[in-house]
Structure 1
Amino acid sequence: MLNLQLAHKYSRAIFELAEEEGKLEKYGEELLEVKNDLEAVPEAKAFFANPQVERKAKKELVRKMYEGELSPNIYNFLFLLVDKRRFALLPVIAEQYREMANAARGIVIADVTTAQPATKAQQEKIAQKLQQVTGKKVELRLHENPALLGGVVVKIGDRRIDGSVAGRLQALQKELLTSK
């Protein structure tokens, strides 16, 4: 719980800085890049999480990886996380930052689960329909679950829309059992 509170403070700080500078999208992309880099290389994630590794060595790795690649504020933010021994929180910080930036820009994230990969045309159609329903710009996060058999399940925040074949079969089964 404490780590989530700390991550929120850091993500709020970098969010406010980005908002002030008009760089919400740019900073979000850079934080996501660093997060993805860490997740792609488990050894790097373990290196930054290890308290026995000196801060100097961690800063040197950040410098080698990102010097000239990131905007100065994000680059310095990474050094701050190393100094405060909070670098392990970066994935959570990046995700919380994304949520704040999306809310500020009027964007909602829709988790869309289909039985098979959705084509570009299907993705666009789903996004357009969800934009009509929510009145906001919708960003899709795609998932696959063959157990759905067909159709789609959409989750936006705590709202769930089940248009899957499996969901319809379950609803039908429930209806038949309660009508006996």
Structure 2
Amino acid sequence: MARVAAKRHAQAAFQIALERDELEIWRGDLERLSALVGDPLLFAFLESPRINFEEKGRILRQGLEGVNPLVMNLALLVVARGRLDLVADMVLEYGQLVDEQRGIAHAEVATAVPIELEDKDKLIRYLSDLVGLKIVLTERVDPSIIGGLVARVGDKIIDGSTRSRLLALRESLLK
């Protein structure tokens, strides 16, 4: 349920920012909000029922000085409703909407060893052709896959790992 609410807030923020041609301004301001409420002490302060809203608002305005006034209103709304737990997911979702608007997809690739630069470029081109979007690649080394790679782009997973091939071979031999 919280993920749905975060997505709804992100979509509303995205629409406003898009209409005002302020997508990157909002992204930076929302990331500032996320970093601010990521502080455990400040989070506890802003969520505390013992502290009145005016005091919370004062602290929030101090921490977010200079942000877009509409982003500030969103931050105050989230605090007033006691939904600071939505902020991280909301900011993540907002970033995905902006990237989607700009034709960018994020790919996470796991390999047994670090990828060589030339192979990385080929992989980016391949994944870009596959999804029809520009790819921003995040690499992760995972020795348990033995060889090959496992790539995730959005909801697509490409498992070309030696480990998965060995498991498939094992299954077929056991039948």
> 1:120-163: per-residue Cα shift (whole Å, max 9, x none)?
66544432221122111122344443312233211123221012
In the aligned structure 1, how far is the partner of 2:140 from the partner of 2:37?
Answer: 22
Give 1:50's aligned residue. Answer: 48
SS at match of 1:82: helix
**Which amino acid is the alignment partner of residue 9 of structure 2?**
Y
The equivalent of 1:62 in structure 2 is 60
What is the TM-score with the length of structure 2 in the denominator? Answer: 0.81
Q: 1:155 aligns with which of 152, 155, 159?
A: 152
**After the TM superposition, which residues 1-180 of structure 1 pair with which residues of structure 2 at under 5 Å, given as runs?**
1=1, 3-39=2-38, 41-68=39-66, 70-118=67-115, 123-178=120-175
Q: Give the whole-Å Cα distance in 2 for the aligned partners of 1:7 and 1:175.
A: 44
Worse-matched range after superposition: 150-159 or 51-60: 51-60
- Residue 51 of structure 2 aligns to a residue whose secondary structure is coil
- Cα 1:158–1:85 shift into 2, 3 Å: same
Q: 1:143 to 1:53 in 2, by over 3 A?
A: farther
Unaligned segments of structure 2, at least 5 residues: none
After TM superposition, give the deviation of residue 64 of structure 1 in Å. Answer: 2.3
Per-residue deviation, 1:117: 4.9
TM-score (norm 1): 0.79
Aligned in 2, Cα 1:112/1:58: closer, same or farther, shift over 3 Å? farther
Is the Cα contact below 8 Å between 2:23 and 2:98 reproduced in 1?
A: yes
Give, as a single letter, the amino acid of the residue that structure 2 aligns with 1:47. Answer: F
Once the two structures are aligned, what percentage of the paired residues are identical?
Answer: 30
Residues 92-112 of structure 1: per-residue CA shift (max 9 Å, x gap): 211221232222222222222
Change (3 A) 1:156 1:71: same
CA–CA distance in structure 2, aligned partners of residues 98 and 92 of structure 1: 10
SS in 2 for 1:140: strand
Question: Structure 1 residues 155 and 56 mapped into 2: Cα distance closer, same or farther (>3 Å)?
Answer: same
RMSD: 2.5
What SS does the aligned partner of 2:82 have?
coil
The answer to whether the 8 A contact 1:45-1:88 is kept is no
- Whether the aligned pair in 1 keeps the contact of 2:37 and 2:84 (CA below 8 Å) is no
Deviations 1:34-93 (A, max 9, x none): 324433x3223333333333222322222222202x333323321222233322211121
2:57/2:76 contact within 8 Å kept: yes
